[in-house]
Amino acid sequence: MGKGPLSGVRVVELAGIGPGPFAAMMLADLGAEVIRVDRAAAVARGGGFAGTDFTNRGKRSIAVDLKSEQGKEVVLRLVERSDVLLEGFRPGVTERLGIGPDECLARNPGLVYGRMTGWGQEGTLSQSAGHDVGYIAITGALHAIGRAGGPPQVPMNLLGDFAGGSMYLIVGILAALLETRVSGRGQVVDAAIVDGTAHLSTFIHAFLAGGMWQDERGVNMLDTGAPWYDVYETADGGHMAVGAIEPQFYAEFVRLLGLQDEDLPAQHDRDGWPDLRERFAAAFKARTRDEWAEVFLPGDACVAPVLSLKEAAEHPYNTERGVFVERGGHLQPAPAPRFSRTPAEIDGPPVTPGVNSRDVLADLGFDEVDALLDSGAVAQA
């Protein structure tokens, strides 16, 4: 168990993919004891990707046959001694397995039962398969991302799975834990990616309602429509990101770009934006990305080099701040946010399915550990 602000909190994670494991990882980074319930069959398949699946760092794993009565009892015994259960199955799956909210809250009335889905627990699409790109499509967020005249651009799966999904599940779990300490009663947290992604766009909806945003791609202030909020190619094929919105930052950007003495259109003159974009693009093409980075950073022009994932891990500022850390020979993002008294930490490497099965059973007080392992209800790696 870690030393972070969630030290003393035990979380049961029913193994899944994507946003659920990431949410559990973050809880582990923050000090919670996370016991991942993998499927017994995962042990036979071996570790595979497990050694570098950073979303499973700092956890313990027990491999259970959830379809067996003995396996179900193992999970319910875990629930009795835990604060949170986290699952990411389709609606109704845990109920059919006998480890749904009713069964778990009957064993532990103070349990926070966190559920992660794309569409939510109810509704006409709740039983449909899906992935990040479809969830953000139906919220309107995907439509808004991209350049004018071009198709929507897919922002990897960061916006839906992890921002609209994992982070909202975490917020819900933490809020429910606080309420439970007052009421003594647990509850179900229904975190849906469509809900979270829509909620994330509140700021843009406010602009839309106020007439300051057009429901089109690439024509607004924050979507590459404005020439001073965009990316520009440099002489070596690299790119610089420009976000010079405020007038004082825009003035500094123009000065460092070497255009302060030119007769430029006004910053907010939309008719002049094509001319500004052309001038900015020509200026950036005169030097390499790293040369421009030396010009702009540190400084107040709100301009930064666009780095690859590997470059970001090696950038001097990121190494100075420790944004990435090395564990087990692999660079990976460090825990965030930071705490003054109870620092978050990576408490162990990515866990292999079933590697802690025997120890977890012993911790739960099972006398028949060998019998459970021999029966196949629980598998040991």
Residue 48 pLDDT: 61
Average pLDDT over residues 290-299: 98
Average pLDDT over residues 332-353: 95
Rounded to the nearest 5°, which phi and psi values hold at 81? -110, 20
Average pLDDT over residues 18-44: 95
pLDDT at 262 over 70: yes
Tokens 């839906």 -> residue: 160
pLDDT at 115 over 90: yes
Rounded to the nearest 5°, which phi and psi values hold at 267? -55, -45
Query: CA-to-CA distance for 362 and 380, rounded, in angstroms?
Result: 13
3-state SS assignment for residue 63: strand
Q: Are 258 and 301 in contact (CB under 8 A)?
A: no
Q: Are 197 and 164 in contact (CB under 8 A)?
A: yes
Instruction: Kindly list the catalytic residues.
Output: 131, 161
213 contact partners, CB below 8 Å, separation of at least 6: 204, 207, 220
Average pLDDT over residues 27-56: 88
Average pLDDT over residues 341-350: 94
User: Which two tokens mark 110?
Assistant: 């103070």
Tokens 């429509």 -> residue: 225
Percent of the chain with pLDDT over 70: 98
The tens digit of pLDDT for each residue in 184-230 reads 999 999 999 999 999 999 999 999 999 999 999 999 999 999 999 99
Beta strands in 162-300 (DSSP E): 187-192, 229-233, 239-243
Query: CA-to-CA distance for 88 and 166, rounded, in angstroms?
Result: 10
pLDDT at 1 over 90: no
Residue 8 pLDDT: 96
Average pLDDT over residues 153-161: 97
Query: CA-to-CA distance for 86 and 13, rounded, in angstroms?
Result: 5
